[in-house]
Amino acid sequence: MSEVIYIDGKLFPTAEAKINVLDHCVLYGDGVFEGIRVYGGRVFRLAEHVQRLYESAEGIWLKLPISQEEMCKIVTQTCEANKITDGYVRLIVTRGVGALGLDPRKCKEPSVICITGSIELYPEEFYQNGLGIITSKVPRTHPKSLNPLIKSCNYLNNILAKIEAIQAGVPEAIMLNHQGYVSECSGDNIFIIKDGVLKTPHPSAGILNGITRAEIIKLAQAEGIAVQEPELTPEDIYNADECFLTGTAAEVVPVIKVDERRIGNGKPGPITMKLLTAFHELVKQ
C-alpha cells in the first residue's frame, strides 16, 4: 500500500489520509475512477486511462477541476513519492462534499485522490493452468440506466456477480446483458477463439471498453489473427476453442472451464498463450 496518498493537492501518510463522510462518493457512490498499472517505473497507457476517466466524468456531468495533463502529473508524482516501480494505481474523482440529498449541486468541489500499491488479482498458477468461471444470474446494468462505458464508483452490479462467483467457488463470473448476450465479467473483459478467429463482445454489448482489451486486439492483429466483435451467447463460450479474460489487474488470464463445461481441450490454448507472452513483452517496452 502507499506510504503516502494524494488528496486534493497534498500527500498524506496512509494512516492520515481521510475524506469527509459527507462526500457524495461515500454517500451515493457518486464519482469515477481508473485502475492503472506501473511496469518498470513506467505508468502503462496513462494518457488513455486519464482520457477514459474524463469521459466517465463527462458521462455523469462531473466537471473535473484540473486538466488531463495535470491529472497525469498527479499519477506520476504519487508513484515517484511512493517509489513504485511495479504496481497499481487507483485514481479517483469524487463528486465532493455536500449536504445530504442526491442533488449534485450541493457539492462545491470534486476531490481528486491517487493511491498506489501492489495488486495480485489471480495466483500465478491460473496464468499457467487456466481458471474456471461461471455465468452469473446477475445481468449487466442496462445501458439506458447507467452506461457501462462509465467507470463509476458504484460497482454494486459487478460486486453482486462477484459474490455469486465466490459462492460457486470460482474467481470470476460472466455477466449477460439485458438481451441475454455475453457482456463482460464482473471485473474483466472476455475473449474467445473459434476456428482461429479472436472474438470479443462489441462495446454496445454493455462492456467497459478496457485498455488491456484494446491492446490485445492490436497485438492479435499484428500477429495476423482475425478479430471480430460479434454478439456472443453463452453457447458460443461453451463451444469456443479457447477463452481468456483481460483487465488492468488481471492482464491476460486463460479460462479452461465455464459453468463446469470444459473449454477446448481443458488447457490454455496456443493463441491465448501467444497473446499473453506478447502482452508481457509489450509492457516491458
Terminal CA-to-CA distance of the chain, rounded, Å? Answer: 25
- Catalytic residue (one of 151, 162, 218, 257): 151
Instruction: Give tens-digit pLDDT for 5-48.
Output: 999 999 999 999 999 999 999 999 999 999 999 999 999 999 99
**Structural domains of the chain, with CATH:** 4-117 (3.30.470.10), 124-282 (3.20.10.10)
> In the numeric block, which cell numbers belong to residue 177?
446483458
Judged by DSSP in three states, 218 sits in helix
Residues 172, 156: Cα–Cα separation, whole Å: 15
Taking each helix axis as running N to C, give the angle between helix 46-59 and helix 211-222, from 0 to 180 degrees, rounded to the nearest 10.
130
Instruction: Give tens-digit pLDDT for 92-150.
Output: 999 999 999 999 999 999 999 999 998 877 899 999 999 999 999 999 999 989 999 99
- What's the whole-model pTM score? 0.95
The candidate with the shortest Cα–Cα distance to 113, out of 49, 19, 23, 20, is 19
Reply yes or no on whether 151 is catalytic.
yes
> In the numeric block, which cell numbers belong to residue 13?
501518510
What is the sign of the dihedral through the CA atoms of 17, 22, 23 and 29?
A: positive
Beta bridge partners of 176: 182
Looking at 8-119, list the stretches that DSSP marks H as alpha helix, in order from N- to C-terminal side. Answer: 24-28, 46-59, 68-81
Query: Which DSSP state fits 263?
Result: P
Instruction: Give tens-digit pLDDT for 204-240.
Output: 999 999 999 999 999 999 999 999 999 999 999 999 9
Q: Are strands 197-199 and 227-228 parallel, antiparallel or unpaired?
A: parallel
